[in-house]
Amino acid sequence: MLVPGGRLVFAVFTGPAENPFASIPGRILAEHGHAPPTGSGWQPGILALGDRARVEALLAAAGFTSVQIEAVEMEWSFKNADEYWSFLVDLTALGPLVRSLSAAARSALRDAIDRRLVDFARGDHIVLPSRCWCGVAMR
């Protein structure tokens, strides 16, 4: 869709290991039987473009000839597990699924998430690392 010489600037999350803010709830939902297990192949979602080689192949297939990509580290910081839970339920694409669960299933999910968040406690905050591929591609 870009004119010759046009630029695409993008930022996409890398994979699940580098983005626990997104991967922890998805894994636990799958472990509890509320979502399909993650497979080794491509799956849609927030981490779908985590494989740098896939991003590069998609850009090449779309006709981009000059591509620069770099990893950018960042963090998601939450005051506590309650704030993370509110973020998950109110602001993410998983929110509708979580809200649709029974009270008992939501409670079990919350307990499991809280146990995993302990590894990311920094003083009185929860700090979850994150990484994005940031790039510029030209036609």
As a residue count, the chain comes to 139
For residues 59, 64, 73, 75, the Cα torsion angle rounded to the nearest 10 degrees is -60
Q: What share of the chain is helix, strand, coil (3-state, %, to 5)?
A: 45, 25, 30
The tokens describing 8, both together, are 């695409």
Q: Output DSSP code: residue 37.
A: P
| Whole-angstrom distance, CA of residue 17 vs CA of residue 121 | 17
Long-range contacts of 94-102 (CB under 8 A, 24+ apart): 94/25, 94/26, 94/29, 97/29, 97/34, 97/35, 98/25, 98/29, 101/34
Please tell me the pTM assigned to this model: 0.85
Each domain of the chain, given as residue ranges in start order, spans 7-138
Please write the tens of the pLDDT for every residue from 100-128.
999 999 999 999 999 999 999 998 899 99
Please write the tens of the pLDDT for every residue from 56-97.
999 999 999 899 999 999 999 999 999 999 999 999 999 999
